[in-house]
């Protein structure tokens, strides 16, 4: 799977109208929407939560940081016999699991 290249940016749009039903009456409510865009301006996602939008926008950098951590663990040992050692380190397992989730691979 190939992700859109980062870094991604968040833009706030205040132009969305939502229908809301309350006490049997229908209302129209103006709400904010946050777009996450790639460097070439393509829409990656849109979401109502600003906090979630910023977390999503940080995803490419977070994935690269996790890969750097994984490579650091691999670099600690130069032979395959040490694989069992770092497979038992909880931080390593968390890093590898998060990378697999981001890249939709089996853990």
Nearest 5°: phi and psi at 95?
-60, -50
Summarize the confidence of residues 11-32 as an average pLDDT: 72
| pLDDT (0 to 100) of residue 33 | 82
Query: Which has the closest alpha carbon to 89: 63, 62, 69, 64?
Result: 69
pTM over 0.85: no
For residue 34, give every residue at least 6 positions away whose Cβ sits within 8 Å of its Cβ, in sequence order, or none: 10, 11, 12, 13, 46, 47, 48, 49, 50, 53
Read off the pLDDT band of 11 (50, 70, 90).
confident
pLDDT of 66-77, one tens digit each?
999 988 887 776
């Amino acid at each position: 799977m190939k992700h859109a290249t980062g870094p991604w940016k968040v833009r706030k749009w205040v132009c969305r109208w939502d229908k809301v039903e309350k006490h049997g009456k229908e209302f129209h409510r103006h709400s904010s929407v946050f777009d996450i865009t790639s460097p070439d301006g393509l829409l990656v996602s849109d979401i109502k939560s600003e906090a979630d939008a910023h977390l999503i926008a940080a995803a490419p950098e977070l994935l690269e940081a996790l890969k750097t951590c994984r490579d650091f663990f691999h670099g600690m040992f130069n032979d395959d016999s040490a694989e069992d050692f770092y497979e038992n380190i909880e931080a390593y397992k968390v890093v590898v699991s998060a990378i697999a989730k981001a890249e939709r691979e089996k853990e």
